[in-house]
Amino acid sequence: MNNILAPLRAMLKIKNLRKRLIFTAVVIAIFRLVAHIPTPGINLAALKNLFDSSAFLSLLDVFSGGTLTNFSVMALGLNPYINASIIMQMLGMVVPSLEALQKEGDFGRQKLNQYTRLLTIPLCFMQGIALILLLRGQGLTTTSDPLKLASIVFTLAAGTAFLIWLGEQLNDYGVGNGISLIIFVGIVTRLPVAAAQLFTTIDPTKIFTYLIFGVFAVAIIYAIVRVGEAVREVPIQSARRGTSFAAAASNHLPLRLNQAGVIPIIFAVSFMLIPNLLGRVFATSSQAWLSGLSRNITLYLAPDTVLYNVLYFLLVVAFCYFYTAVVFNPEKIAKDLRQSGSFIPGIRPGPNTVDYLNFVLNRITLVGASFLGLIAIFPSIISGMTGVTSIAIGGTGILIVVSVVLEILKSINSQLYMYSYDKFLD
């Protein structure tokens, strides 16, 4: 028991880590408090019934942390910010000035974050207007006054801005991974609701099927952890100086199987929510062709359809490659190796090293991205076999929850390691 509590006692002894943990807990409490402040002008009882009857809206509610069911001031969640991040990173691949900022270290990152926040503002208004149109089409708004409807849109935009600010505070003064941590908290807080829905729909004749699903769920979590920690070690050698011969000192360059972490899942989910949301907004249009097209989009891109899962898988793989290309720079690594006098055995320094790193990275990213995509759609497949839709809704959430927990544990372990090292030196 003492060995189990030892890391917890060590965490509380480290003043800096203790402050960060307390600050994180306070920010999470503020987030959950504000998430329960409803926006006026919405029929909440009818809205809850609508969300309970729609798999798409239930999925959207999961990733908003339950803020859509009660239509809180944070009902838009972080979707506008995530979409702005996707747009900025794509523009960074084609706009030279933005590409230059990506290579300027912390300064460039800060400027890109500023541009992302500015782009988030119009996206908030666009998504807020679309959401209000959707609710009006369903008869869920209690007012038709344009000024009051505009005030609702402004309230939703302010809620998203406040949520982004909380995420940045977690990055600066908390345990880090602010945006991912907020999404994580939102998903975790929905677990009791999902569990209650599951237990109310359990069929006693399918107990064995549920047990099999439970085994698969544990296996998925184990596989996510193993793949998340897997690395490809590229051997590196450097010549020792001060001797009459070149004695190679062996080392290695660790390349993670999944360089992008949980980001591709978040991006893919946000991207897949857009067609369904637009389809529902225009479903009540007076134009017959537009309403027909909207109904077809809603029908064929429902979360339980084959087309949805195929597109979801492809988007996860594509975003894995895209984000890996953004965060991993083989040219910089090859340059650093050359300047330090190191090299990869059998590979010439310079362009050959860059080509070799790209070759290795493309192969391991294919494995990691394919695994991530399969895990993302696997719960939907199993849900189709068991008929329990609430489990499928939480499937993607498992990926985010496990990945964020691993990142937080790494951050805390690094603090504990530094504390132990300093204590050893003393």
| Residue of higher predicted confidence among 138 and 318 | 318
| Residue of higher predicted confidence among 349 and 277 | 349
Residue type for position 371: F
Rounded Cα distance between 150 and 136, Å, is: 13
Give yes or no for residue 414 having a pLDDT over 50.
yes
Residue 388 pLDDT: 56
Query: Are residues 395 and 320 both part of a single domain?
Result: yes
Q: CA dist 176 to 55, 173, 211, 342, 399, Å? A: 32, 8, 36, 32, 18
Domain that holds residue 252: 203-426
Query: Are residues 215 and 175 both part of a single domain?
Result: no
Residue 420 pLDDT: 67
Of the pLDDT bands very low, low, confident and very high (cuts 50, 70, 90), residue 4 is very low
Query: Are residues 104 and 251 both part of a single domain?
Result: no
Query: Are residues 140 and 224 both part of a single domain?
Result: no
Query: Are residues 303 and 349 both part of a single domain?
Result: yes
| Residue of higher predicted confidence among 227 and 425 | 227
Residue 337 pLDDT: 83
The stretches of 230-344 forming alpha helices (DSSP H) are: 263-281, 288-300, 306-327, 330-339
User: How high is the mean pLDDT of the chain?
Assistant: 78
Of the pLDDT bands very low, low, confident and very high (cuts 50, 70, 90), residue 245 is very low
Query: Are residues 10 and 131 both part of a single domain?
Result: yes
Residue 59 pLDDT: 62
Q: By C-alpha distance, which of 360, 355, 363, 344 is closest to 251?
A: 344
Query: Are residues 247 and 334 both part of a single domain?
Result: yes
Residue 282 pLDDT: 72
| Residue of higher predicted confidence among 404 and 13 | 404
Q: CA dist 199 to 52, 194, 344, 390, 408, Å? A: 15, 9, 56, 10, 31
Strand partners for 256? 231
Query: Are residues 312 and 378 both part of a single domain?
Result: yes
Q: Quick one: average pLDDT of 169-185?
A: 84
Q: Quick one: average pLDDT of 197-224?
A: 74
Q: What percent of the chain has pLDDT over 90?
A: 7
Choose the weakest-confidence range: 200-204, 330-334, 385-389.
Answer: 385-389
Residue type for position 307: L
What pLDDT, in 10s, does the model give residues 381-396? 776 666 555 554 455 6
- Which range of 54-58, 161-165, 413-417 scores highest in mean pLDDT? It is 161-165
Q: Directed axis angle between helix 263-281 and helix 55-63, to 10°?
A: 130
Choose the weakest-confidence range: 10-14, 99-103, 352-356, 385-389.
Answer: 385-389
Give yes or no for residue 120 having a pLDDT over 90.
yes
Residue 30 pLDDT: 92
Question: What contacts 63, CB < 8 A, 6 or more positions away?
Answer: 77, 79, 183, 186, 187, 269, 270, 273, 397
Residue 1 pLDDT: 46
Kindly report the pTM of this predicted structure.
0.75
In this structure, what CATH number is given to the domain that contains residue 4?
1.10.3370.10
Give yes or no for residue 56 having a pLDDT over 80.
no
Give yes or no for residue 242 having a pLDDT over 60.
no
Query: Are residues 175 and 242 both part of a single domain?
Result: no
Residue 45 pLDDT: 76
Q: Of the residues 200, 222, 239, which one is the last residue of a structural domain?
A: 200
Choose the weakest-confidence range: 12-16, 113-117, 381-385.
Answer: 381-385
Q: How many structural domains compose the chain?
A: 2
